Every structure is written in structure tokens, then in C-alpha cells.
Amino acid sequence: MEFHISEEHRKLQHRARRLAADFATRAAQHDRDATDPVENYAALRDAGFYGLNVPAELGGAGVGLFGWSLAAEELAQGCASTALSFNMHLSVVGPVMESPLVARETKERLAKMVVHEGKLIGGNFSEPTTSGLVGTAVPLARARRVDGGYRITGRKAFASMIAVADFCMVMARPEETAPPAAAMVLLVPRDATGKRVDKVWDTLGMRATRSDAMTLDECFVSDDALIVRADDIVPFRRHGANWFWGSYTAVYLGIAVAAYKTIAAIVKERTPPGYAQSLAYHPDVRRHVAEMSVDLEAARLLTYHAAWLSDTEGPTPATVAALYRAKYFVGEAVTRITRTAMTLGGAHALFKTSPLERLFRDGAVAPVQFPPRDFCLASLGLLELGLDPADVLPPLKTDRPDVGPIVR
């Protein structure tokens, strides 16, 4: 592993740490009320984070996935929901900036919006029926060409910060074309006519992401809303996998770090009556802490390495394999670490007022957050064995016997 943390990276980490300290003062309340952390999004804008992964030549900070992973790890320690939702902004801006399929003028337009106009962009490719299993690379939502723009109709789901982001990037199938994998990506303004947010997000964890559902009913967007259109959208999605899918991992790493730090402080402080030493001196506690630290360090190294590969090699099979490895392992590690922290915290940790209780619930989301753990393993197996996904049997019977499922 050849990566190293540069001075620039350290400065970014430091800026993220300061933001996280402020976010932490509101995290419990936003979690309890499942409210949008709008103050945090404003603070991220003021700190110049909206243009973080816009190339320097377009006015952004030109930070790659490695730099963002270091920053996300810090932000998540303050408020994991904020870090995850804000990641959605970077996770859609990044692929647009890096894709050879997106026109230069479109990149410039988006760069201007996020860097100079401070626009926050959500991303909503998921629909109620979306699955990582088979054949859902193409959306059911439809876009129809009309005078001066497009009309979009469809139902979207799990749209983080949808009510407060200035725009939401959505994927829709062009109504008039036939190729099975044809799709277009469009920017829907927050107040677009024909757009409705359905407030359904009342969940176990990541409550302040407000990943609600969205209904688009003949929703009009103008010509300049179009980001990219392709007869086969799969290469666009694959090329952007580092940001689309790989960028969440560090957020969950941050949750594990927070749980580890919190419980380490608790066991060092808590001295049961009748004893002269804190719980930290108990051999079983020490062993649990040691196990957590192994998990944490392995998770961190896998995350950093995958991000570094992404920055240096681009979306090669080795990079994609590393991203899946990292997401899988971080999901398992954060689940183990938050559970052990809850156990060591005892009954005190069960209270809604305990940060460990929130970290436990937020951490539980990690293995199902896209790409889910089983998807990671299934895809990693193919990559490790050098198999073409088109050559393996679909895991379930296809409903398209003529063409077969569209393999991601």
C-alpha cells in the first residue's frame, strides 16, 4: 500500500473535524425528530465543501475520493446523517465531472452551480422497486421530450435530503427510445411543478437523512436540466461507481470510530463502587477494546486503500474490487464495533440520550446501504475470478427471456 496522508489532506481533515464538533451539538435532536440538518448543510456550503470534488480547473477543490474519505470519516463522527446525505451531493457531482460521456459545457454548468452559486444537489436513482439483484439498472420513471424541455413521470424512493436540496439528479428512461438500457440523467429543481415529496422516512437509523419518497407527475424541467443521455447508461454508472457507490463507506467508518472513542472514554472513566480501578483495567474489557481496534484499523486501511486506488488508477477492476472489499468489511466492522460498545456501555448505553444508542442504530444501516454486503461479495467474487457477469447465470429467473436481465 503506497498511499500517504499529505499536508493538504490533514488540513481538510482538520476543517472537517471542526465542522463535526459543531454538528455534534445538534445530532441527537435531528435524529430524535428526524429533521433535516439544514444548519449543517449551510455550514458545509460556507466552508467550501460543495465544490470539494469539482476539478480545480473548473473552480473546485479537486479533492479525490481519498481526501473525501478522510473528511467523511470526521464529519460522520459529528453527525452521521449529515455526512451521509451530504455525500449524496458529492456522489452525483463526482461522476458527472469524471465521465467521458458528459459534455464539457455541462460539467462547466454544474461546476458553476455548486462552486459559485452554492447549490446543494441530491441524487435519486432509486425507485421503490430498485434492487441490487438483477435488471434494475434502468429506471421505470419516464422522460418525454416537450417544447423547451422534458416532462418526467415516475416514483422515486430513498431520496436523501430531498426536501431541502436545491436540485435532485434523477435518472429516467427516454419515452421515445427502444434500447433496453437507454436512460437520461436530469436535474429536477426543488420547487419544480409536478414534483411531490412523500414524507415516509421514519426509520431505525440515519433518520436525519430524510431519505423520503418523491413522486414526479408530468414534472417539467427545462432543456438545460439534461446532464447526460445514452442508449446504454450502464457504462456511465460503472465509470462513476467510485463516487456513486464507493463514497458512502467512509461515513460508516466514521460511525465505528465514534463508537470506539466513546466507549474507550467511558470504560476509562467509570469506576464501580468497591474498586480502585476503572472498567478499563478489567481483562475482558481490554480484550474487547483490542478486538474493536483490530476491526477499526483493518476497516480504515481497506477504505483508504480503495479510495487511493480510485484516485490513482480510476475505475479499474482492481479499484472496483477494492471498493467492494472495503464496503463489505466496514459494514461488518461497524456492526460489530457498535454492538460491542453497547454491551460494554451496559444499561446506561440503552437510553435514547446515549450517543452509543444512536451510533448503534446508524451503524445497523451500513450492511444494507448500497452496495449492500451481499452485493459486494457477489460482485467481488466475479472480479476476483475474472468472470464476465454476462456469462454467469442470473440468480433468479428473468422476466425478459428474449434479452435476459440487464447486468450491472
For residue 95, state whether it binds ligand FAD (rule: CB under 6 A).
no
- Residues 300-319 as x/- pattern, contact with ligand FAD by CB under 6 A: --------------------
Contacts of 368 (CB under 8 A, 6+ apart): none
For residue 375, state whether it binds ligand FAD (rule: CB under 6 A).
yes
What residues numbered 37-66 form the site for ligand FAD, per CB under 6 A? none
- The nearest distance, CB 212 to ligand FAD, in angstroms, is 9
β-strand partners of 173: 142
Retrieve residue 9's grid coordinates.
Answer: 489532506
For residue 169, state whether it binds ligand FAD (rule: CB under 6 A).
no
Looking at beta carbons only, is 74 or 362 nearer to ligand FAD? 362
What residues numbered 62-91 form the site for ligand FAD, per CB under 6 A? 84, 88
Using CA atoms, how far apart are residues 76 and 41, in angstroms rounded to an integer?
13
Number of residues engaging ligand FAD in binding (CB under 6 A): 25
For residue 158, state whether it binds ligand FAD (rule: CB under 6 A).
yes
Contact 267, 278 (CB under 8 A): yes
β-strand partners of 195: 216
Retrieve residue 248's grid coordinates.
Answer: 458512502
Which range binds ligand FAD by CB under 6 A, 18-26, 155-163, 269-277, 340-348? 155-163
Contacts of 194 (CB under 8 A, 6+ apart): 151, 152, 216, 217, 218, 219, 220
- The nearest distance, CB 92 to ligand FAD, in angstroms, is 9
Which range binds ligand FAD by CB under 6 A, 117-125, 233-241, 269-277, 296-304? 117-125
Looking at beta carbons only, is 288 or 361 nearer to ligand FAD? 361
- Residues 5-44 as x/- pattern, contact with ligand FAD by CB under 6 A: ----------------------------------------
Most distant CA pair in the chain, distance: 80
- The nearest distance, CB 125 to ligand FAD, in angstroms, is 4
- The nearest distance, CB 311 to ligand FAD, in angstroms, is 23
Give CA angle at 30 (77, 205), nearest 5°: 65
β-strand partners of 146: 149
Contacts of 245 (CB under 8 A, 6+ apart): 91, 323, 327, 370, 371
For residue 378, state whether it binds ligand FAD (rule: CB under 6 A).
yes
For residue 368, state whether it binds ligand FAD (rule: CB under 6 A).
yes
Q: How far is CA 361 from CA 205, 211, 349, in A?
A: 5, 16, 12
HSE (CB half, 13 Å, CA atoms) of 344?
34
For residue 252, state whether it binds ligand FAD (rule: CB under 6 A).
no
**Length in residues, the chain:** 408
Beta strand 149-159 with 226-230 is: unpaired
DSSP string, 91-134: HHHHHHHH-TTS-HHHHHHHHIIIIIS---EEEE---TT--SSS
Looking at beta carbons only, is 167 or 375 nearer to ligand FAD? 375
Looking at beta carbons only, is 131 or 343 nearer to ligand FAD? 131
Contact 183, 139 (CB under 8 A): yes
For residue 209, state whether it binds ligand FAD (rule: CB under 6 A).
yes
Single residue of 72, 90, 114, 159 touching ligand FAD by CB under 6 A:
159
- The nearest distance, CB 11 to ligand FAD, in angstroms, is 29
Using CA atoms, how far apart are residues 392 and 408, in angstroms rounded to an integer?
12
Single residue of 55, 132, 149, 194 touching ligand FAD by CB under 6 A:
132
Looking at beta carbons only, is 163 or 301 nearer to ligand FAD? 163
Q: What are phi and psi of 150, to 5 degrees?
A: -140, 155
- The nearest distance, CB 365 to ligand FAD, in angstroms, is 5
Contacts of 41 (CB under 8 A, 6+ apart): 82, 85, 86, 120, 161, 164
Looking at beta carbons only, is 28 or 280 nearer to ligand FAD? 28
For residue 372, state whether it binds ligand FAD (rule: CB under 6 A).
yes
For residue 338, state whether it binds ligand FAD (rule: CB under 6 A).
no
For residue 298, state whether it binds ligand FAD (rule: CB under 6 A).
no
Single residue of 53, 77, 106, 160 touching ligand FAD by CB under 6 A:
160
Looking at beta carbons only, is 70 or 137 nearer to ligand FAD? 137
Retrieve residue 368's grid coordinates.
Answer: 444494507
Interacting residue ranges for ligand FAD, rule: CB under 6 A: 84, 88, 122-126, 130-133, 158-160, 206, 209, 211, 365, 368-370, 372, 374-375, 378
